[in-house]
Amino acid sequence: MAPANTHQAKTQFGYRRHPDQDRSGPSPAAHPVVIVGAGPVGLSLAIDLAQRGQRVVLLDDADRIGEGSRAICFSKRSLEYWDRLGVGDRMVEKGVVWSVGRIFHGEQQLYQFNLLPEDGHKRPAFINLQQYYAEAYLVDRINELPEIDLRWRNKVTAFEQRNDSAVLTIETPDGAYRLNAQYVIACDGARSSLRQMVGAEFAGQVFEDQFLIADVKMTAEFPTERWFWFDPPFHAGRSALLHRQPDDVWRIDLQLNRYADPVVEKKPENVRPRIARMLGHDKFEFEWISLYKFQCRRMDRFIHGRVIFAGDSAHQVSPFGARGANSGLEDAENLSWKLDRVLRGKSPASLLESYHIERSAAADENIRESTRSTDFMAPNSHQEARLRKAVLSLAKETEFGKRMVNGGRLSVPCSYDSPLSSLDADTWRGGPSPGSSMLDAPVATLAGEQIYLTDAFRKGGTDFTLLSFSNGGPIDAPDGIKGIRMGGEDGLADPSGLVAKRYGAAPGAAYLLRPDGYVAARFRHPTRSAIAAALARAEGLY
């Protein structure tokens, strides 16, 4: 059903004819990058590439932002990425911030968890924000970037792989035209047509249980927390989820059985009593109702010649864990800097292979985590149900039982076992190891401004960056690498001591950060040659 249009964001866009469409004959217009699909992943990737100076053509087969809230939980990592794309503040201002979840069994609370129990981070563990807002804000940002050519109602219908490019056939209201692209990035979602065109398999585990999403508008006093029930009194024998979104909209997710009739179950008159039973009243309006089943699967390879897959087109997970959109955004930030370097001839095309290695491993982790959650919610056999029953009953009185209750393990950045990482040569106690994401912490500038380490990284240009901890002496770093200096006469101050603590760093130590904020290498006693070697490795130069 259509959402009640209560939100203030532009979601309808117009098709416009482009001069590329007037070119006929054997040589279509050529572009370095064509992104297919203007969802959160394609939009973010386009902005990232444009900010790195690349010209991007972004195609979408529709002329409007999709209906319904869909993805609603955006992770700290995604917000830090959006900060770099210039949209983080807007997302956080509109979104509802949360970090606490509660798990109930029947009427009893089993336990609660806090996903970010410590201070000193710019961004919260999560915000909830309807996907249409996220997409609308990204489109607004794109309109500020002349490098991006966003073409609505441009549907890719055919595709031809060449040695050093790909040729797309695109259907528009004015008829078909062709484009030549050095690289095509397929961000065209779970039903990716490009995936079908390259003939790639997309196999995995199918889950038979059905889930009903109802986004309802109501004024309610529930706290801004993620509430998850096993076997609640209002929905016996199954699971339920309640989660707040902006504009007094609440996400309710109810597990149905595998034999439920989707057409019948989706009818508002049938959904209403279910929700009323849960809330204890029926003073609510429907924003969106959807019934879904899901699969956990990924492509064998994320790169097919000149076509690179990112987001749901490459991998799908169950929704419990907020690992769908967030992992797609991690794909975008992983791919963007590599593609930029390859297009500039600064790194060999083989650097792109590390995108496949790192992000397919991340997809495996996300699939494993979300499959475990789903199996716990919907046991596959009597014995699995029995083990779950034992866990839920043990959780009432034991800590280990609480920890085994799996109502969704929420998205955190993956650590990569990557060919781009240099192994530690020194002994470290604590701190992010090579292949892990950088950690945030508060810092102060010379002028006394209170900012965060992620701000300093972004302001430095989101490139290879040496984060060094001053011991008074100069740091001998290779040319062409950005620097964030902690301490010393001209460095950032660490007033809370959290930077040194989180990085397990003594004076003299240094971290080499990649353009996506991942740690490439770290040194207790950095030398120019060791940094240069780690840099070359992370750039894919050997």
Partner 1 sequence: MPLSTSSNFARPDDAFRAIVEAHRGLTEEQSADFDAALVLILANHIGDIDVLREAIGLARRRMIDGQQQQQQQ
Which residues form the interface with partner 1 (CB under 8 A)? Answer: 383, 386-387, 389-391, 393-394, 398, 400-401, 404
- Residue 404 or 444 with smaller CB distance to partner 1: 404
Query: What's 19's DSSP letter?
Result: G
d(Cα 531, Cα 86) in Å, to the nearest integer? 30
Q: How far is the CB of 144 from partner 1 (least distance, A)?
A: 50
The CB density around residue 313, as the number of other CB atoms within 10 Å, is 31
Name which of 256 and 391 has its Cβ closer to partner 1: 391
CB of 196 to partner 1, least distance (A): 40
Q: Which is closer to partner 1, CB of 203 or CB of 390? A: 390
- The secondary structure of 279-341 as a DSSP string is HSS---EEEEEEEEEEEEEE-S-SEETTEEE-GGGTEE--STTS-SHHHHHHHHHHHHHHHHH
Question: Considering the complex, what minimum distance in angstroms separates the CB of residue 435 from partner 1?
Answer: 22
CB 3 within 8 Å of CB 288: yes
Question: Are the C-beta atoms of residues 186 and 36 closer than 8 Å to each other?
Answer: yes
Look at residues 446, 488, 486, 436 and name the one whose alpha carbon lies nearest to residue 466: 486
389 or 485: whose CB is closer to partner 1?
A: 389
Please give the Cα distance from 231 to 385 (Å, whole number). Answer: 12
- Calculate helix-pair angle for 40-51, 325-343, nearest 10 degrees: 30
C-beta closer to partner 1: residue 25 or 382: 382
Angle 317-321-322 from CA coordinates, rounded to 5°: 80
CB of 399 to partner 1, least distance (A): 9
Least distance between partner 1 and beta carbon 430 (Å): 23
Q: What is the largest CA-CA distance in the chain?
A: 74
Q: Which is nearer to partner 1, 301 or 389 (CB)?
A: 389
Q: Tokens standing for 141?
A: 């940002």
Minimum distance of partner 1 from residue 404's CB (angstroms): 7
Residues whose CB falls within 8 Å of the CB of residue 290, separated by 6 or more in sequence, listed in order: 68, 212, 213, 266
Structure tokens of 355? 């995108």
Q: How far is the CB of 259 from partner 1 (least distance, A)?
A: 24
**Closer residue to partner 1, CB minimum distance, 110 or 252:** 110
Nearest approach, Cβ of residue 384 and partner 1 (Å): 10
- Select 317 or 391, whichever has its Cβ closest to partner 1: 391
